[in-house]
Amino acid sequence: MTTTPRPVGKRSMALLNDPFLNKGLAFPPSERAAFGLNDLLPAGQRTLEQQVALARQHVLDQQGDLARNTALRGLQDENETVFYALLESHLAEMMPLVYTPAVGEGCLHFSETWRKPRGLFLAAPERASFKDILAQAPDGIRLVIVTDGERILGLGDLGANGMGIPIGKLALYTACAGINPTMMLPVTLDVGTDNQPLRESPDYIGWRHERLRGADYDAVVEAFVSAITERWPHVLLHWEDFANRNAAPLLARYKHRLPSFNDDIEGTAAIAAAAMLAGVKAKGEKLSDQRIALAGGGSAGCGIAALLLKAMEDEGLSRSEAAKRFYLFDRQGLLTSDMADLTPAQKVFARTDVRQHDQGRDLESACARIHPTILVGVTGKGGLFSEGLVRNMASHTKRPMVFPLSNPTRFAEATPADIMKWTDGRAMVSTGSPFPPVMVDGKPTTIAQTNNAYVYPGLGLGALASGAGSVSTAMLMAAARTVADCSPLLHGGANMLPPATDMAAIARKVAVAVAQAAMAEGLCPPLTENALEARIKALSWKPAYGPYVPA
Ligand X SMILES: O=C([O-])CC(=O)C(=O)O
Contact 356, 333 (CB under 8 A): no
Phi first, then psi: what are they for 335, rounded to 5°?
Answer: -80, 125
- The interface partner of residue 379, options being Mg ion, ligand X, none and the CB cut-off 5 to 8 Å by kind, is none
Q: Confirm or reject binding of residue 153 to ligand X (CB under 6 A).
A: yes
Burial pattern 66-87, b for ≥16 Cβ within 10 A else e, equals bbbbbbbbbbbbbbbbbbbbbb
Binding mask 470-509 for ligand X (x = CB under 6 A): ----------------------------------------
Let me know: does 106 contact 72? Beta carbons within 8 Å: no
**In terms of CB distance, is 174 or 397 closer to Mg ion?**
174
The CB-of-407 to Mg ion minimum distance in angstroms stands at: 7
Which of 246, 262, 397, 451 contacts ligand X by CB under 6 A?
A: 451
Q: Which CB sits closer to Mg ion, 241 or 413?
A: 241
203 annotated among ligand-binding-site residues: no
Which of ligand X, Mg ion, none interacts with 451 (beta carbon under 5 to 8 A by kind)?
ligand X
Residue 100 lies near ligand X (rule: CB under 6 A)? yes
Contacts of 38 (CB under 8 A, 6+ apart): 32
Q: Does 452 interact with ligand X (rule: CB under 6 A)?
A: yes
Kindly state the smallest distance separating residue 169's Cβ from ligand X, in Å. Answer: 7
Q: Residue 432, by phi and psi: left (phi above 0), alpha (psi -120 to 50) or beta? A: alpha
Within 291-320, which residues bind ligand X (CB under 6 A)?
A: none
Where does this chain touch Mg ion (CB under 5 A) — which range of 109-117, 216-224, 256-264, 322-330? 256-264
Least distance between ligand X and beta carbon 396 (Å): 29
**Per DSSP, what are the bridge partners of residue 550?**
8
**Set 23, 169, 255, 310: catalytic member:** 169
Asked if residue 166 binds ligand X (CB under 6 A), the reply is no
Residue 240 marked in a binding site: yes
Helix locations, 243-349, DSSP H: 244-254, 268-282, 299-314, 319-323, 344-349
Strands annotated E in 348-499:
374-377, 401-404, 428-431, 438-440, 443-445, 448-449
- Looking at 23, 84, 99, 454, which residue is catalytic? 99
Question: Residue 65 binds what, of ligand X, Mg ion, none (CB under 5 to 8 Å, by partner type)?
Answer: none
Q: Does 241 sit near ligand X (CB under 6 A)?
A: yes
In angstroms, the CA 303 to CA 217 distance is 23
Report d(CA 291, CA 310) in Å as an integer: 15
User: How open is the CA angle 219-220-223, to the nearest 5 degrees?
Assistant: 85
Residue 88 known to bind ligand: no
Let me know if 445 is exposed, middle or buried by CB neighbors in 10 A (0-12, 13-18, 19+): middle
Best CA proximity match to 380, nearest among 415, 413, 338, 402: 413
148 binds ligand X (CB under 6 A): no
190 touches Mg ion (CB under 5 A) = no
3-class SS letters over 363-375 = HHHHHHHHCCCEE
Cα 83 from Cα 76, distance rounded (Å) = 5
Q: Which is nearer to Mg ion, 261 or 385 (CB)?
A: 261
150 binds ligand X (CB under 6 A): no
What amino acid occupies position 198?
Answer: L
Choose among Mg ion, ligand X, none what residue 432 binds, the Cβ cut-off being 5 to 8 Å by kind: ligand X
* Interface pattern 202-241 for Mg ion (x via CB under 5 A): ---------------------------------------x
Task: Provide, rounded to whole angstroms, the least separation between the CB of residue 241 and Mg ion.
Answer: 4
Binding partner of 31, given ligand X, Mg ion, none, CB within 5-8 angstroms per partner class? none
**Residue 50 CB-density burial (10 A; 0-12 exposed, 13-18 middle, 19+ buried):** middle
Distance CA 394, CA 401 (A): 9
Active site residue 99: yes
Range 260-279, binding Mg ion (CB under 5 A): 264
Binding mask 262-281 for ligand X (x = CB under 6 A): -xx-----------------
Q: Is 452 annotated as a binding residue?
A: no
Q: Please, which residue, 268 or 423, has the CB nearer to Mg ion?
A: 268
CB of 165 to Mg ion, least distance (A): 7
Q: Does 107 bind ligand X (CB under 6 A)?
A: no
The residue type of 22 is N
Helical packing angle, 503-520 and 529-539, nearest 10°: 130
Contact letters (x/-) for ligand X, 174-203, by CB under 6 A?
------------------------------
Any idea how long the chain is? 551
The answer to the question of whether 319 is labelled as a binding residue is: no
| 173 included as an active-site residue | no
- CA distances from residue 453 to 8, 331, 393 in whole angstroms, order as listed: 34, 27, 29
Which chain residues interact with ligand X by CB under 6 A?
100, 153, 241, 263-264, 407, 432, 451-452
What residues are designated binding site for a divalent metal cation? 240-241, 264
What residues are designated binding site for (S)-malate? 151, 407, 451
Which chain residues interact with Mg ion by CB under 5 A?
241, 264
Catalogue the active-site residues.
Answer: 99, 169
